[in-house]
Amino acid sequence: MTVVPETGTPGPEATARVRRRPQQARSRARVEAILGAADRILSDEGFEALTMRRIAEAAGVPVGSIYQFYPDKSAVVDALGQRYLGAFEAAIDELVARALAGELADLVGTMVDVYAELFRSQRGGMTLWAGRHLSPELARADEASNALIADGLRRIMEHLTGAPGGERARRASRVVVWAANAVLHEVYKGDGEPDPETLDELKHMLNAYWGDLRGRSRGDAEE
């Protein structure tokens, strides 16, 4: 993963197609303005409204300055998509660290709340993924991100059950990610406020599945 000079943290453009990466603070601020504008346009106006000229207008920059960093609109979309995925990956890293430190009393509730907030705050990402306006590269990155999240959940499962879960844990973690993704996409696909009771139903469903998995894991360990 590319590291942005002077900050030591991955930049949103790290794996996207870029003409040049911002080196100075002023350039980095301009890239942030460009991606922030693209996110707002996706969220408020939809994918079809996302043009280089409209991005420049919303970001308050000359359109030519966007082309200094991104060769076309699809490159901007890829960079924005990488930013969304990076936030999801950072969230599972934090959840794993908290679980291993014994700080997650309510694994399922915390996980749903954390990812629901990401869905809520990334409305542009919802527009992007709902329409599947993804390049092959970004689609593969999406799959890799889901696999990373599933692997983090597998590590949490194995830590909390006290035994390696093997293929069952890997399969179960993928099922949890697929199920949660499907429900959260449905909850946040509209323009209005989501129904919190639907999120409660998701928690109930995943808690029941989690309880069953723990029971099966204990049974396997006793055999």
Where are the chain's structural domains? 25-73, 77-222
pLDDT of residue 10: 39
Residue 82, amino acid: Q
pLDDT of residue 87: 92
Is the pLDDT reported for residue 9 higher than 80? no
CB–CB of 180/112 below 8 Å?
yes
Per-residue pLDDT of 29-83, as tens digits, reads 989 999 999 999 988 888 889 999 999 999 999 999 999 899 998 899 999 889 8
Mean pLDDT value across residues 14-41: 75
Q: Within a 10 A sphere around the Cβ of 51, how many other Cβ atoms?
A: 13
CATH topology of domain 25-73: Arc Repressor Mutant, subunit A (1.10.10)
Task: State the alpha helices, DSSP H only, in the chain.
Answer: 25-45, 52-59, 63-69, 73-100, 107-121, 123-131, 136-161, 166-187, 196-222
**Which CATH class for the 77-222 domain?**
mainly alpha
pTM over 0.85: no
